[in-house]
Structure 1
Amino acid sequence: MDESVLERAEEILGHRFQDRSVLELALTHASVSESRLSSNERLEFLGDAILGQVVCEMIFHRFPRMLEGEMTKIKSSVVSRRTCARLARRLGLDKLLDMGKGMQMHPELPPSLAAAVFEAVIAALHIDGGPHASRRFIESIIEPVIEQAAQSGHQQNFKSVLQQHAQQVLGVTPSYRVLDEKGPDHAKAFKVAVELDGLLFPSAWGQSKKQAEQEAALNALTELGVIQPNDDGEYMVVRKESDS
């Protein structure tokens, strides 16, 4: 492998390798290796485990009030193949992968291979520089990804976001009032509004109480300026619980 490729990889990773052979292995696809044992597949396996552990610890400490189910959703998004592939491309690692000529004909590296090289270099860092080296790299790259995943996930659980904001910032607990019901028992719709410290926010309809409460929580969060829609129409948190 060309020395310039290895030097570029070291620059991206922020680590000077004592043993460049492990870095070269991380950048070697099975299509150009004598056997699968001399490709990056084993390093991908190890890197996946290391990434998962560090991400779990980051989520655990970043969100001390978050329930297990919500943490699992964030973790699944952050360590997904899609996310790893996106990070590999953003860093330029996909351009450094040594692979067969047939694979090089593709205009863009397939997501599975881009994700694999991302996980493989994490393992290479871990082997050459120890846990500190791999953790430092992961934390520097993944922290904003975790924040984004957490904010995106909130669109599915507006009640949780509202409760955290109300309790931590306003010092009150939200309540939900059913204002109206329509339809037969087997297909009833509910009109619900959030009440915070005597203030009633705009109501919302839903095909179940749970759905109506989520929509009502969304209305309250929007009124409070805690969330707003982005260009894709997804709601993002714009004011964190600790903001004044």
Structure 2
Amino acid sequence: MALHGSLEPDLQHHQVSKAAEGGRKAPDTARLEATLGHRFNDKALLATALTHMSAEELRLASYQRLEFLGDRVLGLSIADMLFRRYPQSEEGDLSRRLADLVRKETCAEVAQSWNLGQFMRLGDGEILGGARKNKAILADACEAIIGAVFIDGGYEAARALVERGFGERLMKPVRPLRDAKTALQEWAQGKGYPTPTYSELGRSGPDHAPVFMVAAKITGLEDAEARGPSKRLAEQAAAEAFLKREGLWNDKPEGDNV
């Protein structure tokens, strides 16, 4: 028993070392390039796009700058694709579709379809913590890959990559709106605006039947006001008024304006 106890720390250290080694070794990215449909002229760009900030002890640059660029390239590419695919759609519907396609959850799904996790360069703790399946990390890496392809091959190469990765999702119906406040928040995020806020402007009526006046606010845009029998319902009404004013909400069934 004493011998087993003395060996256990060494065994644990060996397991950690083996896991860390997997993050330190430069992966064979030929399979990944085949999956992406893009062969990099500058392999260092691809290596950087696959390097998480936790691996900075390797003295390698992380994907953060490429992620920043890729996020913008993704948005432009998706907007371009939507504009061509839905020539009859109004701006509001296109904006909702755009927000749905560029959200982190969608990027993570695309990264998983590319098997990005197995190619990531990660720090010891992240490897042991299961970061190769972490959706936030995968979403960031997806955007970094798009940014790297943009630098390596230009906009058309990046747009082609986005079309291969996101094209099927482009054809799916936009997610149903759960409620006006959620819809307004998703639209604001997709457009790069701050999160909407709500302020109570006044209250009237008797105690047993109050009427609340609420304003929906997004910095840089005009407020929208509405009334409701409770503060919660008044906020929903204000959000709906905001969406209707921006042409993002109507009473027709989902997809009628496509």
Q: Secondary structure at the match of 2:34?
A: helix
Give the match for residue 174 of structure 1. Answer: none
User: Structure 1 residues 31 and 66 mapped into 2: Cα distance closer, same or farther (>3 Å)?
Assistant: same
Give the match for residue 185 of structure 2. Answer: none
One of 57, 62, 69 as aligned partner of 1:39: 62
Give the match for residue 5 of structure 1. Answer: 28
Letter in 1 for 2:31: R
In the TM superposition, 1:104-115 aligns within 5 A as: 104-107=127-130, 109-115=133-139
Q: Secondary structure at the match of 2:31?
A: helix
User: Structure 1 residues 36 and 76 mapped into 2: Cα distance closer, same or farther (>3 Å)?
Assistant: farther
Q: In structure 1, what is the Cα distance between the partners aligned to 2:176 and 2:167?
A: 15
Structure 1 residue 36, shift from structure 2 partner: 9.2
Q: Secondary structure at the match of 1:33?
A: helix
User: Structure 1 residues 143 and 47 mapped into 2: Cα distance closer, same or farther (>3 Å)?
Assistant: same
Q: Secondary structure at the match of 1:64?
A: coil
Q: Secondary structure at the match of 1:5?
A: coil
Q: Does 1:88 align with 2:111?
A: yes
Percent identical residues: 33
Moved more, 88-97 or 73-82: 88-97
Unaligned runs of 5+ residues in structure 1 are 157-212, 219-234
Q: Does 1:78 align with 2:78?
A: no
Q: Secondary structure at the match of 2:171?
A: helix
User: Structure 1 residues 135 and 36 mapped into 2: Cα distance closer, same or farther (>3 Å)?
Assistant: farther
Letter in 2 for 1:53: L
Q: Does 1:140 align with 2:164?
A: yes
Structure 1 residue 154, shift from structure 2 partner: 8.6
Q: In structure 1, what is the Cα distance between the partners aligned to 2:87 and 2:178?
A: 20
Give the match for residue 227 of structure 1. Answer: none
Q: Secondary structure at the match of 2:80?
A: helix
Structure 1 residue 35, shift from structure 2 partner: 8.7
Q: In structure 2, what is the Cα distance between the partners aligned to 1:99 and 1:14?
A: 24
Structure 1 residue 152, shift from structure 2 partner: 3.6
Q: Secondary structure at the match of 2:29?
A: helix
Q: In structure 1, what is the Cα distance between the partners aligned to 2:57 and 2:159?
A: 31
Structure 1 residue 107, shift from structure 2 partner: 3.6
One of 84, 87, 108 as aligned partner of 1:64: 87
Q: In structure 2, what is the Cα distance between the partners aligned to 1:133 and 1:73?
A: 25
Q: In structure 1, what is the Cα distance between the partners aligned to 2:91 and 2:153?
A: 32
Q: In structure 2, what is the Cα distance between the partners aligned to 1:87 and 1:65?
A: 27
Larger RCO, structure (CA 8 Å, separation 6 or more): 2
Quick check: 1:26–1:120 contact (8 Å CA) kept in 2?
Answer: yes
Q: In structure 1, what is the Cα distance between the partners aligned to 2:178 and 2:53?
A: 41
Letter in 2 for 1:60: F
Give the match for residue 101 of structure 1. Answer: 124
User: Structure 1 residues 103 and 44 mapped into 2: Cα distance closer, same or farther (>3 Å)?
Assistant: same
Q: In structure 2, what is the Cα distance between the partners aligned to 1:24 and 1:37?
A: 9
Q: In structure 1, what is the Cα distance between the partners aligned to 2:177 and 2:94?
A: 12
User: Structure 1 residues 142 and 93 mapped into 2: Cα distance closer, same or farther (>3 Å)?
Assistant: same
Quick check: 1:29–1:98 contact (8 Å CA) kept in 2?
Answer: yes
User: Structure 1 residues 89 and 78 mapped into 2: Cα distance closer, same or farther (>3 Å)?
Assistant: same
Q: Does 1:50 align with 2:68?
A: no
Give the match for residue 41 of structure 2. Answer: 18
Letter in 2 for 1:65: Q
Q: In structure 2, what is the Cα distance between the partners aligned to 1:66 and 1:36?
A: 48
Give the match for residue 221 of structure 2. Answer: none
Kindly tell me the number of residue pairs found equivalent between the two proteins: 169
Q: In structure 2, what is the Cα distance between the partners aligned to 1:27 and 1:81?
A: 17
Q: Does 1:131 align with 2:155?
A: yes
